[in-house]
């Protein structure tokens, strides 16, 4: 049963990220209007260019969620991206949706992230000092 639940979670998140990415690419200026004024000051000008990159990033995350070795990394990137969206977006409806997606990405990242690679990396650093 766990395998079916994981595939359902992965598939649902993947479709969501790919779909949102596609929608952002269709109207980057419109999506840029939902960004908080303070966040606009940090982003490159014009904001449409940033939104195009965001659209491609969303699609890339969605694809990573479908590829077994990349699920943990894709879900971690998705969680980081959604945390930024929650902080920088002005629409409470979008924030409410993205908080749920953020929770799903975090759960998937915790379950699938390649933690053994992180352990090996820090173990090597500890031995080299």
Tens digits of residue pLDDT in 59-72: 999 999 999 999 99
Flag whether pLDDT at 119 surpasses 80. Answer: no
Alpha helices in the chain (DSSP H): 2-26, 28-32, 37-42, 47-64, 71-88, 92-112, 115-128
Q: What is the pTM of this model?
A: 0.85
pLDDT of residue 126: 63
**C-alpha Rg value of the chain to the nearest Å:** 16
Q: How far is 66 from 40, CA to CA, in rounded Å? A: 32
pLDDT in tens, 18-54: 999 999 999 999 999 989 999 889 888 899 999 999 9
User: Which of 38 and 129 is assigned the larger pLDDT?
Assistant: 38
């Amino acid at each position: 049963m766990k395998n079916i639940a994981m595939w359902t979670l992965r598939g649902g998140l993947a479709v969501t990220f790919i779909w949102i990415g596609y929608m952002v690419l269709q109207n980057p200026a419109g999506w840029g209007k939902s960004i908080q004024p303070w966040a606009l000051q940090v982003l490159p000008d014009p904001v449409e260019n940033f939104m195009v990159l965001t659209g491609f990033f969303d699609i890339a995350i969605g694809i990573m969620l479908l590829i077994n070795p990349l699920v943990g990394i894709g879900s971690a990137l998705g969680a980081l991206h959604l945390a930024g969206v929650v902080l920088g977006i002005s629409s409470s409806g979008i924030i409410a949706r993205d908080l749920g997606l953020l929770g799903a990405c975090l759960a998937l990242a915790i379950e699938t992230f390649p933690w053994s690679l992180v352990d090996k990396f820090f173990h090597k650093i500890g031995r080299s000092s």
